[in-house]
Amino acid sequence: MKLTLNEDTIRACRTDAKTIVDDLITMIDKHSTVSVERTILRLLGIDGVNDFDIPFVNVLVDHINDHADLSKGVSHYLAAAVKDTKLSPQAIAEKINASTLSLKPYQDVETDMAVLMPYIESTLEAINKQKATRQTFMQSRQTDQPEKYVIVATGNIYEDIEQAKSAAKKGADIIAVIRTTGQSLLDYVPYGATTEGFGGTYATQENFRLMREALDAVSKEEGRYIKLVNYASGLCMPEIAAMGAIERLDMMLNDSLYGIIFRDINMKRTLIDQYFSRVISAYADITINTGEDNYLTTSDAFDHAHTVLASQFINEQFAASAHMKESLMGLGHAYEIDPDMENSFLYELAQAALSKHIFPRAPLKYMPPTKHMTGDIFKGTIQNALFNIAAVSTNQSIHLLGMLTEAIHTPFMSDRALALDNATYIYKAFKDFGADIEFKEDGLMNTRAQDVLSNAKALLDTISEEGLFTTLEKGRFAEISRSPHLGKGLDGVFEKAPSYKNPVIDVLIKQLKEGDTWL
């Protein structure tokens, strides 16, 4: 099922997207954020919370911000303190919490990052072991069909585990634990196992560990690896990426623009945080899932399809700048054209085929119909069946299954089971359908794909001329306007001092460059 597209236009889109991203990398390189600094501390081995449930990494960053100069970076102070006290970073954090140690005296001390290397190497060794474990599991997991992706969202991690095990035994390949409402706006990561969430379950390292342990057990029982997903987004984006790397999550929702547009997080904060989070995910072989599908919940999917494609090109270049392999770039799109539109399925098929044609090596994340689900479960089942046909026919990689009760309630286990039955039936019935048909060169679908590509190129031309910040301020994505001078988390952004160092990212990038296949 191959489209006839102008390859020069595709190359020009990538050139525009690279120009857009390169312009922002200059800004990113000059700045850091409190969440980046907390992530460095986590990767140096600092964990836990104090008696007030404040994470030690927050305590330490706040201490430096209040009593010293954070623009030098946390590594400056930790290196000096470790060398002077001979204590571990964890012990230093605990002493600072107890007010028995201050980092202020180390502000003007010259530091050598070598003293931190054993702690960095220890964490990276743990991540390397998790990568090796995943590779061992994945040896028996070969498939030429989309991977069936379902969600659990009870708010209680122990109930989530039971629902996840049930879905995996029913045939799910990927389990996503939906994050509790509002966690993206918390400027700290909660600690420990949690049993009370709203619309989802808190993303904590212990919750990651518990779910990974449970899915590993099911993987062994079923003889196939069950992948785990959570959210590396919001104000703690890189911290959660680090936690996911340590606990062997396989995918993380990680978009460069979603938090800006839909959570009103400051654009500088988001872009700086997403860069470090993607470097971590690239190192840990974690597939990212981007959020272009969300644009179509506020914009018309037919009229604004080109904004999805333009964002995919931008997300691709942000991932490439973080030395991420194409095989980890789970770029997003969705089945959201109004079902009452004549030929809606043909337009949807064209859009899905367009994404696959342009990003053939990326594991595309295809989202089900949600905006036009009405609560009519019979019509909803048909909409999801057509979505499943589009997914398997165009060889999508990551296929989030639609629920017949979308727009009614959080899916029951029975709803999920019916969704899996629907997808399994369609996968078999349409297995070779896409390989056995062709698009007419001047037909509706090929013409539609060409129009979307042409409009995406025009939008990328505009963005490359005016800059991404101006584009976001004008509301060109999802018809939502954001200002670079406003938004949550801006007070956590700071300019790096000339002596600033982040030895963690230096090590990660050095190793990624040695194996970089992008350039």
Active site residues: 258, 293, 365
DSSP E strand stretches across 261-389: 287-289, 329-330, 332-334, 365-367
Partners of residue 201 on adjacent β-strands = 179
Run of H or E residues at 251? strand 251-253
Q: How far apart are the first and last CA of the chain?
A: 29
Report residue 380 as tokens: 């909803």
Taking phi first (over 0 means left), then psi (-120 to 50 degrees means alpha), and beta for anything else, what does residue 34 get?
A: alpha
Residue given tokens 């039936």 in the structure block: 425
Q: Within a 10 A sphere around the Cβ of 385, how many other Cβ atoms?
A: 16
Run of H or E residues at 252? strand 251-253
- Summary count for the chain: helices (H), strands (E): 20, 11
CA dihedral 478, 484, 486, 491 (to 10 degrees): 130
Residues 6+ positions from 255 with CB-CB distance below 8 Å: 233, 274, 288, 289, 290, 291, 292, 315, 332
Partners of residue 476 on adjacent β-strands = none
- The DSSP code sequence of 120-184 is HHHHHHHHHHHHHHHHHHHTT---SSPEEEEEE--S-HHHHHHHHHHHHHHT-SEEEEPBPTTGG
Helix, strand or coil for residue 34? helix
Alpha-carbon distance 292 to 303, whole Å?
15
Alpha-carbon distance 464 to 21, whole Å?
9
Report residue 135 as tokens: 């590779």
| Burial class of residue 509 (count of CB atoms within 10 Å of its CB; 0-12, 13-18, 19+) | middle
The DSSP secondary-structure symbol of 317 reads: H
Alpha-carbon distance 365 to 363, whole Å?
7
- The DSSP code sequence of 318-343 is HHHHTT--GGGEE-EEE--S-TTSTT
Partners of residue 251 on adjacent β-strands = 229, 287
- Cβ 426 vs Cβ 389: under 8 Å: yes
Alpha-carbon distance 249 to 281, whole Å?
10
Report residue 59 as tokens: 């305590």
